[in-house]
Amino acid sequence: MKKKPTIAIVAHDAGGLGGMELVLNETIMRLKEDYNVTVVASSLNVTDPKDIRFIKIPVIKRPVPIRLILFSILASIRLLFVKRDILHTTGAIVFNRADFSTVHFCHAGYLKATGGSRLNDKISLFRQWNSGIASFIARTMERIVYRPSRTRKSARGFKPCARGDNGGLSLSSRTGGLSAERCKYSKIQVL
């Protein structure tokens, strides 16, 4: 009998409430039929965790900028010791070379498409700083990670390319997180 290949999936949280978490739950449930699945995340809350190897990355939930930095560093180091055939990341969240990345939201693309930030002046100064720093960290990770030398393939309308004015993403107006009028998908594109 042929041995199943091993796929390591990296996400902040796998499964649970929320759109990205539900997509991850479905992805993991389907992949475990044909692969040995290892999930590297802060939490695992999938419908059937049987036969899934879970590697917990212990990080704090808040403040978000510290969570992002800690997860990136700790998960990147832990992945050095995880045997796998395929590395699939959910966004630009680790420094390791990935075979595939699913992009649910592109921070640089959002900023470029809207010309502004998601910050609201009606929130406290601390929350504005927290959001601004978290957004900066996410865009910096995208510049580092979404390059052909770091990520082979991506899904969701983005194609890793040579570093450009947008920090390494080949963007169309179809960036994650935009309104339905600007983001028209009939299915996920794999480029």
What pTM did the predictor assign? 0.78
Q: Check residue 47 and give its pLDDT.
A: 95
Q: How far apart are CA 187 and CA 131, in angstroms?
A: 30
Average pLDDT in the 24-44 region? 95
Model confidence pLDDT, tens digit, residues 48-101: 999 999 999 999 999 999 999 999 999 999 999 999 999 999 999 999 999 989
Q: What is the β-pairing status of strands 43-45 and 86-90?
A: unpaired
Between 58 and 159, the higher pLDDT residue: 58
In our burial notation (b when 16+ CB lie closer than 10 A, e otherwise), range 143-171 reads eebbbeebbebbebbbebeeeeebbbbeb
Query: Rounded to an integer, what distance in angstroms lies between the CA atom of residue 164 and that of residue 171?
Result: 10
Answer yes or no: is pLDDT of 166 > 60. no
Neighbours of 120 (CB within 10 A): 9
DSSP class of 35? S
Residues in the chain: 191
* Of 120, 119, 126, 142, residue with least CA distance to 68: 142
Question: Using one digit for the tens of pLDDT, what is the confidence trace for 92-128?
Answer: 999 999 998 988 888 888 888 877 666 666 788 888 8
Give the confidence band of 154 by pLDDT, cuts at 50, 70, 90: low
What is the separation, in whole angstroms, between the first and last Cα of the chain? 32
C-alpha 24/C-alpha 41 separation (Å) is 11
Annotate 43-111 with three-state secondary structure: EEECCCCCCEEEEECCCCCCCHHHHHHHHHHHHHHHHCCCCCCEEEEECCCCCCCEEEEECCCCHHHHH
pLDDT, mean over the chain: 80
Q: Quick one: which H or E segment has residue 10? A: strand 6-10
